[in-house]
Every structure is written in C-alpha cells, then in structure tokens.
Chains A and B, each alone.
Chain A
C-alpha cells in the first residue's frame, strides 16, 4: 500500500519533469525574452516587439527595468548563464564589461547567415565603433539602437539681446555666463544664472565634465594605459569647471539631469550640456517657460575641437541565449530603416545617417542636424571593463573639488591614485 503510494508519487514527479523538459524543447522555441530599459528607449523596442509578433507570430516578452537595476539584472543573468534573456538592451559604457567577459554573441557569423558581410554602412561610424570589441577595430557584438550624444543648450534670445555670438569655445561660454548673470533676471524677477551643470558624484559629474576635460586636451589614460587625469591639462580643465560653477545655481554638487533641466525649463539658467531626450520638453507648454528660446548645438572647443560624450543604447544577444537565430532576425528587423524611423518618431534619436537627414523627421525634430554633427564627432567614455568603478571614484573627487573640499590639483592627484588602484586590482 505504502509502496504503491511512493511509486505513484515518483511517477507523477517524472511526468512533471518530462513535461517541463519537452516544454523548453519545443513549446518555447518561437519565443524571445528581452531585457529593456524603462522609459522612451525601452518603450520603442517594446512596440517593435508587438509589431514583430503580428508579422511573424514569434512571441516576444519584454521585461523592463529602471536604469539603476538593468545593469545588475543583466550582469547577474549573464554571469550565471541562465539564458533567461535572448536580447538585452544596454548603455554603451557597460559594453566593454559584457564583451570582455565573453558574455555576448559575436554577430558577424549571424550576419553572414543573413547574407550580410557586416553592419549596414548607413549606421553612423561612431555608433558602430562602440558595438565592437576591442573598440572600433574588433568583432561586432551589438547593434546601435538609440543614437544619443550630448548637446550644448543655450538661450538664443538672451544671446541675441546681449550681442553675444553663439558659444564656439569654452571661453565664450564663460564670458557669456558672466554677462547674462550680471545683466539678466529670472522670469519672476529672481536671480538668473549664466550656466547650469550637474556635479552630483558619479555619472552626473563625470558626464558634464568630460567634454571640458577633452577640449582642454586632457586624457584619462596615457599611451601606456596609466591614468593621467592629474596632467596639467586635466587640472586646468577642473579649474575651469569651478570657474563655471560660480555661474551655476548653488547646490549644483547635488544636481542630476532633472535639476539641470528644471532650471532651463523655468528660465532661471541660460546654458548647459544635456542629452537629446530633454529636447522635446522645451516645446511643451505644460513644462516650459522658454518655448522657442533654446538653441541646440555641438559642444564648445578649447585647445582641441569640442567633442560630445556618446551615450548610445545598444542591443545584443547574450551567449547563453538558446534562440540566437531568432534573436538576430528580430534585431535586424528592429534596426532596419523603416522600424528605426518609427522609433525616432516616438522620440529616440536614430543611429542611421539617412534618418537624421530624413525630411519628415527633421521637420519633427529641428535639432537633428546639430545632433548628427554631435554624434558623428562624439567620443565614448574610456573603454574599460572597470568603467563603473572608475567613474564612481572620478565623480567623487570632481564633486569634492566643486564643493570646495579639495583644491583642483589635490582632487585630481587623489583621483589619479584611486583610479590607479582600481586598474592594479583589475590587472592582478
């Protein structure tokens, strides 16, 4: 009696197991799971997935995470090789980490299966370069989906009023900031600031500083790959940042993108570096007190030509995915001209040159010519798998210098030493 119970229980268990196995073997083959970012970038991919399902019958699950969680979810999954995701969306600074750990599928052979020798030449070169490992020269491990790069925002009405020419150099920016802050008032008669930047530790401070750092001729690593942020150029760049800080609203060492945009939208600051995602807000009457008054341009120069930081969203196939053939078909479809145009209409800058020049899109997004120039001349954050750690440390010291806790030279020397420690640990 007892034995029959045990036996029948074992049989039941076996049946359940078999059912589960057969399910993974057949039932799930025509389905894909995508890890995507929340917000407009991920939403566009989700819409593409819905359309793709209608055409092909392939069922696609899109799982969306906020920015802070997406990286850790993906890294945990890729590290343990569960194969939970067939397609992942990633911010381009994460790419070296994923590619170096051999977590991603090399796309070259998959493209060949589709009769292509490489990515479409219509993709912008700087966007394809961040999809290759090593940078620019290596194999292709991702496709660029959203073509963000920084832009310089300024109040053209105030520039015209004060006879200022459009800011071409960082010295122009400083001079204009000074003039505007002295002569202008905010919309409610309050204070008007010449500039606004974010210097909250981490990503924020570093993103707003890199264009100044590069324009001053500084480099994060020298030719031998040793950190060199404390070079004379690097220290001069930080000194310049503090100078600009005098024309930035107080408390900017705690600012993130939302505070910067709030000041611009309220008309209490005249210039800033920002990302294209904010452009549409300036023509929204519900949010903006400066409709039609903001101009978008490429980043100012100093000793070297101004360069924006690239911040593309990439899509890739984890090596642990069981459905790479299906995944590549979807990726090629989602990044084709027609689909990317739809994504662009939803508010995501494209990564194809032809779309930046597309008449309908330029009409909808007048900043496209400036965005294209910025993206084509943009440069990536240093390509290292330790970027998160380096950015964190660098940001802390930039923040400390901006709050007056450390002098620019001390901040850069200490940052250099800490970055060196990180590299040494990585090399061990």
Chain B
C-alpha cells in the first residue's frame, strides 16, 4: 500500500507523530538536491581522475595543489586582495558612518548618494572602471593629463605593478558603502545614556569613542567584517571583467583560477579540489569571527 494512504488512514496519534517529518520533508528534499548532493558529488569528482583505462580513485588532485605555482600565486593574490581591501573598506566605512551619524545639513542626500556604488551590479562596475582606467582614452588619465601629470607609465590595469592595486581600488569604491551602511545602523542603535554619562564624567572625545562607541559597535563591526571577508576571498566578477586575471597573472585570484581550470581546461577534478581549499579557508575565517562575536 502506498505510504500516503497509510498516513491518511493511520490513527490520529500516529498521524500527529508523523506530521512534523512530513512538514520538513520538502525543505529537506530541496536541501538534499541543491546542497548536499552537489557537495558529495564534488567530493567524488575531486577524488577521481579519467585515465585511458577508465575512471580511477586518486589523491592526485590534492597532491598537485602542493606543486602548483599558479595555485600558490593565486592564493597570495587572494590574501593580499582581501587584507588590503578589507582594511580600507573598514576604515573608510567607519569614518563615513561616524561623520554621517551626526546632525548636519544634507545628511539624507549624502547617505543616499553614498549607497549608489553598492547598488550597481559588479559587472557594470567592472565595465565602467575598465573604461575609466584605460591608459589612452580613460577618464582617470584624461583628468591627470589635464593637471599636467605625465601619465605615460600609469597604465593601471595593464601594468603588472599597478593592476592588483587598481582592482583593489575598484572593490573599495564599490563596497565601502556597504560597510558604512551596516556600521551606521549599528551606531544608531546605540542608546544615548552612556554618552550622557560619559559627558558628565568629563570623558574626552577619544575616550568616548574608544570605551563606549567601539565596544557597543562590536557586533556590527564583526558582522560586516565577516560578510566582507567571505566576499573578498571568493571575489570573481569585477576582476574577471577588469583584467581577466592579467596582465601576466598579476590579478589572478583563487576563484578565477578555479573557473579557468573548470570551464576553460575542463579539469573539474582539480577545480573541485581547489574549491575545497577555498571552502576550508572561508570556514576557518567564519569560525574565528563567530568566536570573536560570542565573546
């Protein structure tokens, strides 16, 4: 007899027992199909290799990680990209949030216009900046030339020395508003009483910031740092549009290298192995942040 029939004809008590399972079943099925199965499948892919005599189980992909210069370089780029961009985004975002948390004229206008970069799709940001950074026809060098700067060596994304810096600058431009937004929300949730108490006790501005604002803002800071770090470690779209990892591999990050390996070289096994390294990295970072958040 089909299961559904048995469920409907079962006594009320048993039906009650089965009901919760039945209710979570659709969600579970979706999770299985869209998360768990692909995860297990990618594990098997990373441990298999196609040879002349068929598919064999092997650790070769993981061993290759140790000897792959490109992988190591891409890892370093990802790390530099994440640390530098995060530092600037956080400091700028915090400064802007503190500034615009005060009563001033035109505050609403400032806030709204600051959010524009964040609203744009990364692909659009990539294309716009690619045009602006063009050494010959771009707006940036055009402006610099106007002020008499010799721009001959300022080739931005086409220069191996400036390329990583250029893509980081674009990320800072696009994502500082997000940091600003979260921190501003955090600032506005801080009650006025501690500040009033500090004022009465004669605390300096720096002391107030150091001992009241920062500790009370900590949850917001950690959440925004966590979200930004994860996004930075797996950054793909702007770099893909801006430089495609070039010139001379100077802006190749892990995600780009994984994409290339999977879809240009069709080596899904190795791409899956690298993805697990990336997954492990983001997991470790998340755990650290969450630990800090709970303290």
What is the interface of chain A, defined by CB distance below 8 A to chain B?
Answer: 2-3, 6, 71-72, 75, 79, 97, 199-202, 249-255, 259, 262-263, 268, 386, 388-389, 392, 396, 399-400, 402-403, 405, 418, 425, 428
Contact = CB atoms under 8 A, between A and B. Distances in A.
21 contacts: A2-B4, A6-B2, A200-B247, A201-B244, A201-B249, A250-B155, A251-B135, A251-B136, A251-B158, A253-B160, A253-B247, A254-B159, A254-B246, A254-B247, A262-B136, A268-B136, A388-B266, A392-B260, A396-B70, A400-B249, A428-B49
Nearest to A204: B246
Given A71-B264, A250-B152, A399 B158 contact: no
Interface string B7-24: 011000000000000000
B248 interface: yes
A298 to B, nearest CB: 29
A65 to B, nearest CB: 12
Contacts, number: 93
A72 B246 contact: no
B275 interface: no
3 nearest CB pairs, A to B: A254-B158, A251-B155, A251-B158
Contacts of B265: 386, 388-389, 392
A72 B136 contact: no
Given A250-B135, A388-B265, A399 B247 contact: yes
B249 A75 contact: no
A79 B245 CA distance: 27
A241 to B, nearest CB: 14
B51 A428 contact: yes
B18 to A, nearest CB: 16
Contact of B158 (A252, A268, A405): A252
A318 to B, nearest CB: 16
A268 B49 CA distance: 51
B263 interface: yes
B147 interface: no
Q: What is the interface residue range for chain B against chain A?
A: 35 or more
A216 to B, nearest CB: 22
Contacts of B157: 254
B5 A405 contact: no
B244 A403 contact: no
A403 B264 contact: no
A417 B99 CA distance: 55
Nearest to A389: B265
Contacts of B135: 250-251
B155 A405 contact: no
Given A3-B5, A388-B265, A255 B248 contact: no
B206 interface: no
A135 to B, nearest CB: 21
Contacts of B152: 250
A303 B106 CA distance: 71
B257 to A, nearest CB: 10
Contact of B248 (A3, A268, A403): A403
Contacts of B249: 201, 396, 399-400
Nearest to A391: B264
B159 A392 contact: no
A201 B246 contact: yes
A282 B267 CA distance: 41
A255 B267 CA distance: 28
Contacts of A71: 263-264
A369 to B, nearest CB: 33
A202 B159 contact: no
Interface in B130-189: 135-137, 152-153, 155-160, 163
Contacts of B69: 418
A411 to B, nearest CB: 10
B54 to A, nearest CB: 13
A6 B5 contact: yes
B264 A392 contact: yes
Given A254-B155, A254-B158, A6 B247 contact: no
A390 B189 CA distance: 56
